Amino acid sequence: MELNKYKEDIKHKVFNPSPEDIESSSYGYSIFQANINRFLPNIKKENYEQFYKQLIYNQYLVTFDQYDFEKLDKVSITNNSSLELTSSILTPTVFATFHYGSYRVINSYLLKYGFKVVLIIDEHAYNTQKQQIEDSYNKLKIYANQNNSDYIILNVKDSSSIFRLKKLLKNGYVLIVYLDGNTGSLKGKNFKKGYTNLNFLAGNINVKNGIAVLSYLLKATIIPVMTHWDKDENFNINFHKEIKSTDYSNNRLFIEDSISKLYSILESYVKNIPEQWECWSYIHEWFERNKSYPYKIQNTSDLKWILNEERYSLFSLKNEYYFFDKYSYRGFPLDIDTYLKIKNLKIKNIKKNKLEYLLTKNVIL
């Protein structure tokens, strides 16, 4: 009951934000708008706000779910793979998933039924989340009456992980990977090595292909697995048809085809219920953002004197103020007076030189 009460409090706060909450999330909301505009252009602008609120709530819900063992007991399973979902898997097996739906439930489901699981995560997640993940597993193990499951977390950046993983898979462990865990990307990243370029929704992305390389080396079978919530926030887990490395004549074909198939599965879910995919907050890290976009010459007599919301948004960050170009993902500084006048629709009162600058960049329509 305490968990449900806390969940309802969070839900109310997310869907009824204070002016301060709105201001503090303005940077994240600007990035979100740019990403949706690029990849899901058919979504109406007036639906962005509700979409964003649901996305934020879902991130909380993922955390709540990992401790809600009653919901786990009622999970709905669809198995379209040829694998029997027992804890006696002998073939090296990789469960490949994404940050979609209640994505941590896959770990809980396998552990509850006695699987020995290896989770391989990026260095940032390893350093910040390892203890939390292990604590959650220990609670689940008690709930599952101390079954024979095991849970090992490896850092993908640790050079010894590959050797340890190979041994674990031979000993009956299964590997779980989140293919879209690219949050640690750096500005100026070179996407030529270790990435596959894909058409995705209405855009183009570069995604890590290391798990496909690893699966081929280990002669492992990849089983795509997805979770999603129904309208009542119940769990659904779908195990899709497996992808076998042994079906391919060489590693290049396997890497390209397996990554393409996996992201095609994700794409079908995202098209159906996009707000259940967490990565709208950071998908912009997966493509180059150095393209320049031209500005139109405007006739001042035709202006409506409003913010050009198709291309721009406003945000504040650490007491600094900006207008944000959703096409190029660039922020431009503003003084607080100009920022507030744009927000409060008092654009004609902006100082002449600053107004002319905004007009040259088409910030004002």
- Closest-CA residue to 228 (of 263, 278, 181): 278
Q: Tell me the per-residue pLDDT of 222-233, one tens digit each, with 9 for 90 and over.
A: 999 999 999 999
Going by CATH, does the domain composed of 66-286 fall within 3.10.450?
no
Give the residue, 221 or 156, on which the prediction is more confident.
221
The ranges assigned to domains in the chain are 66-286, 293-365
Burial class (CB in 10 A: 0-12, 13-18, 19+), 99: buried
Question: Which of 84, 34, 74, 117 lies closest to 235 in space, CA to CA?
Answer: 74
pLDDT for position 136: 75
Give the pLDDT band (50/70/90) at residue 87: low
Tell whether the model's pLDDT for residue 106 goes beyond 80. yes
pLDDT of residue 185 exceeding 70, the answer is no
Nearest to 75 by CA among 288, 228, 300, 294: 228
Mean pLDDT estimate for the chain: 89
Q: 32: part of which helix (H) or strand (E)?
A: helix 26-39
Q: What is the pLDDT of residues 231-272, one digit of tens each?
A: 999 999 999 999 998 888 888 999 999 999 999 999 999 999
- The whole-angstrom separation of Cα 40 and Cα 311 is 15
Residue 181 has a pLDDT of 79
How do residues 52-79 score in pLDDT, each as one tens digit? 999 999 999 998 888 788 888 899 999 9
- Rg from Cα positions in the chain: 23
Q: Helix crossing, 251-272 with 210-217: angle to 10°?
A: 130
Place of tokens 């060489």: 250
Q: What's the one-letter identity of residue 287?
A: F
Query: Phi first, then psi: what are they for 182, rounded to 5°?
Result: -100, 30
Per-residue pLDDT, averaged over 133-162, amounts to 78
331-342 pLDDT per residue, tens: 999 999 999 999
> Environment class of residue 86 by beta-carbon count within 10 Å: exposed (0-12), middle (13-18) or buried (19+)?
exposed
Q: What is the pLDDT of residues 292-332, one digit of tens each?
A: 899 988 887 888 999 999 999 999 999 999 999 999 999 99
Question: Using CA atoms, how far apart are residues 283 and 241, in angstroms rounded to an integer?
Answer: 26
- Cβ density class 212-228: b for 16+ within 10 Å, e for less: bbbbbebebbbbbbbbb
pLDDT, position 186: 44
β-pair partners for 239:
79, 225
pLDDT for 146 beyond 70 = no
pTM: 0.91
Q: How far apart are CA 243 and CA 82, in angstroms?
A: 11
Q: Please tell me the predicted confidence (pLDDT) of residue 66.
A: 81
